[in-house]
């Protein structure tokens, strides 16, 4: 049981950490860099990024993180997992914030950006960008903070799990 618990915690921490790193990279480099671009470049780049991120590697981590976290929490439900369980439960809850923000805010904004029409035919690219950028960046920051906090909880859970051994 110890090996299974360790594996679940490790997979949860790694996948959550990768997602946190992705959102952090957007927050501190991708979006500030695109923020310096003209409207056409911004819209084209975001559309291409939004299409490119829909791949198996991203999905594996993005969906795998809460699944592994849930499994890790479930494996620590017994009396001998009491010190680890609260940390995995909080990590799971924080990751639910990430999923909620993603599906309620960021994905709809991505979809609206795509639905605005072909870039060369949109008369008001500045308005399209204005409806997208600030809100997307703000909520991505929430995702970055929540996923990083989730990762930290899982890292601490691993420490506590190791001590319990």
Report the predicted TM-score, pTM, of the whole model to 2 decimal places. 0.94
Indicate whether 140 pLDDT > 80.
Answer: yes
Percent of the chain with pLDDT over 70: 100
Task: Grade residue 165 by pLDDT with cuts at 50, 70 and 90.
Answer: confident
How confident is the prediction for the chain on average, in pLDDT?
95
121: exposed, middle or buried (Cβ count in 10 Å: 0-12, 13-18, 19+): exposed
Q: Where are the domains of the chain?
A: 2-164
d(CA 23, CA 30): 10
Task: Average the pLDDT over 141-145 and give the result.
Answer: 98
Task: Average the pLDDT over 2-21 and give the result.
Answer: 97
pLDDT of residue 40: 95
Percent of the chain with pLDDT over 90: 90
Task: Average the pLDDT over 117-133 and give the result.
Answer: 92
Task: Average the pLDDT over 140-161 and give the result.
Answer: 98
The torsion angles phi and psi of 18, rounded to 5 degrees, stand at: -65, -40
Digit-coded pLDDT (tens) for 52-67: 999 999 999 999 999 9
* DSSP codes joined into one string, the chain: -HHHHHHHHHHHHHHHHHHHHHHHHIIIIIHHHHHTS-HHHHHHHHHHHHHHT-SHHHHHHHHHHHHHHHHHHHHT-SGGGTTTHHHHHHHHHHHHHHHHHIIIIIHHHHHHHHHT--GGG-TTHHHHHHHHHHHHHHHHHHHHHHHHHHHHHHHHHHHHHHHH-
Digit-coded pLDDT (tens) for 67-93: 999 999 999 998 777 899 999 999 999
């Amino acid at each position: 049981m110890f090996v299974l618990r360790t594996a679940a915690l490790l997979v949860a921490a790694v996948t959550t950490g990768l997602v946190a790193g992705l959102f952090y990279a957007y927050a501190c480099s991708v979006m500030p860099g695109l923020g310096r671009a003209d409207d056409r470049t911004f819209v084209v780049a975001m559309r291409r990024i939004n299409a490119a991120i829909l791949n198996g590697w991203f999905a594996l981590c993005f969906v795998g993180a809460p699944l592994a976290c849930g499994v890790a929490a479930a494996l620590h439900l017994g009396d001998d997992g009491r010190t680890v369980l609260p940390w995995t439960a909080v990590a799971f809850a924080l990751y639910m914030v990430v999923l909620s923000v993603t599906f309620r805010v960021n994905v709809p904004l991505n979809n609206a950006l795509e639905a605005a029409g072909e870039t060369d035919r949109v008369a008001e690219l500045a308005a399209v960008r204005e409806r997208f950028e600030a809100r997307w960046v703000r909520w991505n920051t929430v995702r970055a903070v929540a996923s990083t906090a989730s990762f930290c909880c899982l890292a601490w859970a691993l420490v506590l799990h190791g001590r319990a051994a």
